[in-house]
Amino acid sequence: MIRFTAAVTGLILLALTGPAQAVLPDEKLSDPALEARARVISQDIRCLVCQNQSIDDSNADLARDLRIIVRERLLAGDTNQEVKDYLTARYGDYVLLSPPMNLETVLLWSGPFVLVAIGLISIGLWYRGRRAQMAEAGGTLTDDERRRIETLLSQAGGDDDGNNRTSGDEGRAS
Amino acid sequence: MTDTASPKPTSGRRWLFAALPLVLFAALAGAFFYQLRYGTDPKLIPSALIGDPVPQTVLEPLKSDKPGFGPDDFGPGSANGQPILVNVFASWCVPCRVEHPIISALARERGIPVYGLNSKDKREDAIRWLNELGDPYTRIGYDPLGRAGIDWGVYGYPETFLVSPKGEVVYKYVGPITPQVLEREFLPRLDAFAEGAQ
């Protein structure tokens, strides 16, 4: 009972915790609409010090500075795209967590589709080869094969017990 | 297994298919190994400023007896046609201390103007640091909030930019300049500018 209570308490506590947020109260904008836009933009801006975190998630100093800049640009009347352009002018496309499609990233974006296409073509070729092979074999059994199957089937029907198998085999061999 | 020998006209292709995963694996392993061993460090982010004029940010002076710098302090007529180094430093940055003698020697022996960009630092700490280690800089801009650093695309300390005599950013190095880095990255570029000037 104690263990059950502990488990339930643990689950309730777990449910109460939200995702950790790096955005500090003093950074937040008073206008909720602008703040919401700032959050959306921040989630696509890479924290350059911690690499695979967004500035929205990161506690790094530079991430905080960039979050503040995002909000300043929004207050100055920038569109979302203008805020991103402001940052890419300084840090390059690398600062965006979803890199734009261009000559350098074309392999990155098309890679998965190319691999799937190669896979599908390979499967198609394999099936075609198999079908050709079967057609060549005629698709029917020879008399010899038919006889062999009949023997095997009658044997399988004969012994239900696994222990008799060895003796059955011996019987056939003699 | 079967008594009748089944004809295998496609056995050549079958082998090819069987070998395909192995070949793919070998190719990927080769590519990964090459990148790990000889490839570029993924932590190094190429500067977005390369090929562009220096940022428009004007920096206030750190010390009363030495000017800060802005875009007008680069380009023709600003350093006798010499390239300029912009060195981002802070008193709290330990690797900055490591590269300090090398930057000092570069400024002293080759006469290269070095602008200091003192970022996210306390003024008195920075001045004490320079008094202790020596001040190799021609100009020092003070950037307490790190905003100028962001305009320059700084993400680590130290960073050193090479600005051409025309006022364009031509190269950036992230991390302390060691003798090897000086030899490999900076001296050839500085030599190229010296030859171009003659």
In a domain, A74, yes or no: yes
Do A91 and A133 lie in one domain? The reply is no
Q: Looking at CA atoms only, how far is residue B43 from chain A in angstroms? A: 8
CB-CB neighbors (< 8 A) of A129 in chain B: 10, 13
Regarding whether A57 and A26 lie in a shared domain, the answer is: yes
A173, part of any domain: no
Domains by residue range for chain B, with CATH: 60-197 (3.40.30.10)
Record: contact B10-A129, CB cut-off 8 A: yes
Verify that A131 and A84 share a domain, yes or no.
Answer: no
Interchain pair A122, B20: CB under 8 A: yes
Are residue A86 and residue A120 in the same domain, yes or no?
no
Is A22 in the same domain as A88?
Answer: yes
Are A22 and A45 in a shared domain? yes
In a domain, A37, yes or no: yes
What is the extent of the structural domain holding A32? 17-95
Q: pLDDT value at position B196?
A: 79
DSSP symbols for A33-101? HHHHHHHHHHTTBB-TTTSSSBTTT---HHHHHHHHHHHHHHHTT--HHHHHHHHHHHH-GGGBSSPPP
User: Would the CB atoms of B45 and A90 count as touching at under 8 Å?
Assistant: no
Most confident of the following: A142-146, B46-50, B176-180: B176-180
- Residue A1 belongs to a domain: no
**pLDDT tens string A84-125:** 999 999 999 889 988 788 887 888 889 999 999 999 999 999
Q: Does the distance separating the beta carbons of A91 and B48 come in below 8 Å?
A: yes
> Number of folded domains in chain A?
2
Considering only CB atoms, which residues of chain B are within 8 Å of chain A?
Answer: 2-4, 6-10, 13, 17, 20, 42-43, 45-49, 55, 120, 145-147, 150-153, 155-156
- Quick check: is A41 in a domain? yes
A and B: number of Cβ contacts within 8 A: 56
Q: Do the domain assignments include residue A88?
A: yes
Which residue from A51, A92, A132 is facing B46, i.e. has the nearest CB? A92
C-alpha dihedral, B65 to B70 to B71 to B76, nearest 10°? 0
Q: Are A84 and A117 in a shared domain?
A: no
The answer on A112 and A80 residing in a single domain is no
User: Which residue in B48, B37, B126 sits closest to B87, CA to CA?
Assistant: B126
Strands B159-163 and B169-174: antiparallel
Is the pLDDT assigned to residue A170 strictly greater than 50?
Answer: no
Neighboring chain B residues of A90 at a CB cutoff of 8 Å: 48-49, 55, 150-153
pLDDT of residue B2 exceeding 70: no
pLDDT tens digits along B60-98 = 999 999 999 999 999 888 888 899 999 999 999 999 999
Q: Who among B8, B48, B145 is closest to A89 (CB)?
A: B48
Q: Is the pLDDT of residue A139 over 50?
A: yes
- A121 within a domain of the structure (yes/no): yes
Task: Give the distance, in angstroms, between the CA of residue B65 and the centroid of all CA atoms in the same chain.
Answer: 29
In a domain, A55, yes or no: yes
Looking at the structure, tell me whether residues A85 and A112 fall in a common domain. no
How far is B87 from B154, CA to CA, in rounded Å?
Answer: 11
What DSSP letter does each residue of B48-74 carry, written as one string? Answer: TTTTSBPP----EESSTTS----GGGS
CATH number of domain containing A80: 1.10.8.640
Residues A89 and A44 in one domain: yes
